[in-house]
Homo-oligomer: A and B are copies of this chain.
Amino acid sequence: MQLVECVPNFSEGRRPEVVAAIRDAAAAVPGVTVLDLHADATHNRMVLTFVGGPDAVVEAAFRCVQQAARLIDMTEQQGEHPRIGATDVIPFVPVSGIDMDACVALANRLGERIGSELQIPVYLYSRAARRPERVRLPDVRRGQFEGLREAIETDADLAPDFGPARMGTAGATAVGARPFLVAYNVNLGTSDLSLAKRIAKGIRESSGGLKAVQALGMATDDPGVVQVSMNLLDTSVTPMHVVYETVRDQAAEAGVEVIESELVGLLPLDALVSTARAYIKAGQLESSQIVEARLLQSLGTAEPPPNA
């Protein structure tokens, strides 16, 4: 079964009726399941997480964008979080049975519809980016709604990938594809914060460490425990167990033990299967051997097709 996660961010975290309308627009699409909704009043932003088959998630994302454009006026919206539009950003994330290229294709399909049917400028970002300067979201968001709105009609570098070079009250939207992000912490049995900071610096990609790993050393509530806090940006490049072993071995060199590791939030089954494969050398183990995945597959085939 093909399973895609979609995590759109909208510039509304204060009006509950708008938050609900956007969520309901996604939930109404057959084959789509809303897994999480987080609305923040200070940021004036909501993050919706839903999963489903490729056609279903594209349809659900489109309907959300449509609702957000109708209900959010960016010329009046204010909040602490940087944003360029009512729907600020939409990433497609492969979960199972689908690869990154296919998710890039979904981003293109959605971007094309948003541009042509809703007349909203769309920038393709992350793995879907067509220009190197659009890979990173902060670069796409530079100037925010207000700055982009002024410059988009005259600056050729700001020409959108889809839709008009002109912004209405819905602003612009970044659409892309990226790997599943895993939030992963390893706790060390020491009060020496400098050790956590040193290990973090050693393993993060930005200082030449492990690919697709961001890391910070931090204190915890327990004075005898420090933490290496990480984002694993692509567990197919650097799997969890490699990160764990690297932190463990570097701590051991300083005579410090790992107390425990923590996975924060959700994790795709494939990441768990990789860990087991590595540990017990079960190279041929497949996600489809897991009872729950098999059941999901059976249920998936029985689902009605999305009315896209």
Interface of A toward B, CB cutoff 8 Å:
3, 5, 33-35, 51, 95-96, 180, 240-241, 244, 258-263, 265-269, 272-273, 275-276, 278-285, 287, 289-296, 298-299
Contact = CB atoms under 8 A, between A and B. Distances in A.
A267 B40 CA distance: 40
Copies of this chain present: 2
A203 B290 CA distance: 26
A294 B281 contact: no
A289 B260 CA distance: 17
Contacts of A259: 281
Nearest to A283: B260
Given A35-B294, A244-B281, A272-B290, 12 more contacts: A3-B292, A5-B291, A260-B281, A261-B280, A263-B282, A266-B289, A266-B294, A268-B291, A272-B272, A276-B279, A296-B299, A299-B299
B295 A268 contact: no
B51 A291 contact: yes
A136 B234 CA distance: 48
A290 B261 contact: no
B266 A272 contact: no
A281 B258 contact: yes
B260 A295 contact: no
Contacts of A299: 33, 296, 299
A290 B262 contact: no
Could you say which of A3, A294, A295 has the most chain B C-beta atoms within 10 Å of its C-beta? A295
Could you say which of A34, A180, A294 has the most chain B C-beta atoms within 10 Å of its C-beta? A294
Contacts of A296: 292, 295-296, 299
Contacts of A298: 33-35
Nearest to A268: B291
B281 A275 contact: no
A3 B296 CA distance: 12
Nearest to A96: B292
A51 B297 CA distance: 13
Contacts of A275: 275-276, 279-280
A14 to B, nearest CB: 27
B289 A263 contact: yes
14 contacts: A35-B291, A51-B291, A51-B295, A180-B291, A240-B280, A244-B279, A265-B289, A266-B289, A266-B290, A266-B291, A275-B275, A290-B292, A295-B296, A296-B296
